[in-house]
Amino acid sequence: MTSQAYHEALISAAKTMVRVQNPRSLLKMIARFIVQQVGLTHASIVIHEAKRNRYIFVDSKGSERIPTKLIRLDRNNPLIEWFLEKDPKGKGKKSFLLYSELLKWVNANHTNGRYKEDQKAHLVELKNIMATLKSSLCVPGFYKGELLGVLILGEKIDHESFTPDEISFFQALANDASIALKAANLRENLLQQNLELELKQKELKEKLHEIELMRTREQATYHQIVLSLAREVYAKDPYTSGHLAHVEKLGIMTAQEMSYDLKDERKRNTLTAALHLHDVGKIGIPDAILKKKGPLTDEEWKVMRQHPIRGAKILEPLTEFRDVGKIVLHHHENYDGTGYPYGLKGEDIPLESRIISVVDAFHAIVSTRCYREGRPVEVAFSELEKGAGTQFDADVVHAFIRAYQKAEGKQSAGKRSIERIA
Ligand SMILES: [Fe+2]
């Protein structure tokens, strides 16, 4: 081949390398290309395997091909070491090794004693390896000083020596292939990393899903516990039997009268749950206080007044009950700011808490307790009216009375007991 022909072959090879993405198939193409274009007995390629830091044969082409699977070259193999070491004469790396030259050095070594003993042994080892590999020429491929591979070339079929043009061609090819190999490796690593990342993301997603499921299960269990706590509170006090359902019904009626959006499922559930659970905090209050027949002492009141805070705390872990907890916390606030636990005023008190405050008070007045008879509905209305604007939100009081009367009117024109409406 002429110098021009090598140049053209090189350009064509470089173009192909850019297109090939699989490094192994690229190297196989190079081996085939060399054997065909230059006419060699064989062309083999070893490349660096980063994982194990050794050099392996990836392919061998030609009539005298090497059994590539059988051969591994460690980093301390004389051939690899030869190319890893810097050229003592030149500044950079060694760029090729001709068997014919190596023979000359070994013979000179024997005759002139120019080399030290270890160097002698090294050159002989090198010669033996090249002989075993039936190699006439070895050409390294570097990328940024890193030895990525070696072209191991057999003899030319015409038995001629390699020309300087041919050697330059192999050098250019080896270095171009190294760049392509490095790029392909980087691309593969990147793809691998991407794949690992995707896997990790998938795992993470699954874990999150699992956590979410566990959280939902926990919430459901806790929900059940809270509901049974609430039932227990009401079961403690005979007055409260029927209290829950009654307060709930009155509360819903009042909310409806105030155009509260009961069609909004979240709002409806929040209001219902709050009406149901507003006194759940009483679970921590001693029976001696809770069931006391006479008026409470100041100390006892202090304990009693803790129940909205305790209730909110019980509901705190239930994320879907966050609003419910807030309503429970403020169901004993007064409209004029004289209530507890925080003395909130007016609209600062959640509407649902203001509704609970009215229906709870109404229910307490009309219910028969162990220490007194329940009073008539009219008395309860007048008590609520008295408290409108101070203890209670006047709008809620009026809405409640209207709703109650409407319900009563629907039932019958005559007087109805509170139990029947409930
Ligand atoms: Fe309460």
| Ligand 1 geometric centre to CA of 199 (Å) | 52
Task: Kindly give the distance from the C-alpha atom of residue 332 to the centroid of ligand 1, in angstroms, as a whole number.
Answer: 6
Ligand 1 centroid, distance to 252 Cα (angstroms): 17
CB distance 151 to 141 below 8 Å: yes
**DSSP code of residue 96:** -
Contact 321, 350 (CB under 8 A): no
Centroid of ligand 1 to alpha carbon of 405 (angstroms): 25
Ligand 1 centroid from CA 297, angstroms = 17
β-pair partners for 252 = none
pLDDT at 218: 75
How many whole angstroms separate alpha carbon 286 and alpha carbon 122?
95
Q: What burial letters (b/e) apply to 150-176, b meaning 16+ CB within 10 Å?
A: bbbbbbbeeeeebeeebbbbbbbbbbb
- Sign (positive or negative) of CA dihedral 362, 367, 371, 373: positive
Contacts of 341 (CB under 8 A, 6+ apart): 305, 306, 308, 309, 329, 332, 333
Sign for the pseudo-dihedral over CA of 371, 377, 381, 382: negative
pLDDT lower than 50: segments of the chain: 413-416, 418-422
Q: Specify the DSSP class assigned to residue 36.
A: I
CA distance 332 to 230: 17
* C-alpha 33 to ligand 1 mean position (Å): 91
| Distance in Å, CA 359 to ligand 1 centroid | 11
Residue 109 has a pLDDT of 62
Q: How far is the CA of 307 from the centre of ligand 1 (A)?
A: 7
3-state secondary structure of 339: coil
Which residues are near ligand 1, the ion (C-beta closer than 5 Å)? 279
328 CA distance to ligand 1 middle (Å): 8
User: Cα of 349 to ligand 1 centre, how many Å?
Assistant: 15
CA dist., res. 314 & res. 253, Å (int): 27
Ligand 1: centre distance to CA 304 (Å): 9
pTM score: 0.51
Query: What pLDDT is attached to residue 238?
Result: 56
Which fold is adopted by the domain 3-192?
Beta-Lactamase (3.30.450)
Enumerate the domain spans of the chain: 3-192, 237-421
- What does each C-alpha distance from 389 to 73, 330, 358, 385 come to in angstroms? 95, 17, 12, 9
CA distance 37 to 40: 8
CATH number given to 237-421: 1.10.3210.10
Tell me the backbone φ, ψ of residue 71, rounded to 5 degrees: -110, 130
The CA 281 to ligand 1 mean position distance, Å, reads 8
Given this model, what pLDDT does residue 18 score?
61
Query: Cα separation of 40 and 62, whole Å?
Result: 7
Q: How far is the CA of 361 from the centre of ligand 1 (A)?
A: 10
How many angstroms separate the alpha carbon of residue 415 from the centre of ligand 1? 29
Rounded distance from Cα 319 to ligand 1 centre (Å): 22
pLDDT in tens, 130-151: 998 889 999 998 888 888 889 9
What's the pLDDT score for residue 12? 72
User: Which distant-in-sequence residues (6+ apart) come within 8 Å of 80 by Cβ?
Assistant: 55, 73, 74, 147, 150
Residue 191 alpha carbon to ligand 1 centre in Å: 63
How many Å lie between the centroid of ligand 1 and the Cα of residue 260? 22
Which three-class secondary structure state does DSSP give residue 93? Answer: strand
Expressed in angstroms and rounded, the spacing between residue 279 Cα and the centre of ligand 1 is 5
Q: According to the model, what pLDDT value does residue 17 have?
A: 65
Contact between residue 342 and residue 312 where contact means Cβ atoms under 8 Å apart:
no
258-297 burial, b at 16+ Cβ within 10 Å, e below that, comes to bebeeeeeeeeebbbbbbbbbbbbbbbbeeebbeeeeeee
Measured in angstroms, how far is the CA atom of residue 124 from the centroid of ligand 1?
Answer: 100
Give yes or no on whether 3-192 and 237-421 have one common fold: no
> How many whole angstroms from 19 Cα to the centroid of ligand 1?
78
Ligand 1 centroid vs 331 CA: distance in angstroms? 7
- CA of 277 from ligand 1 middle (Å) equals 9
The torsion angles phi and psi of 354, rounded to 5 degrees, stand at -65, -35
Phi and psi based region of residue 54 (left: phi greater than 0; alpha: psi -120 to 50; beta: remaining): beta
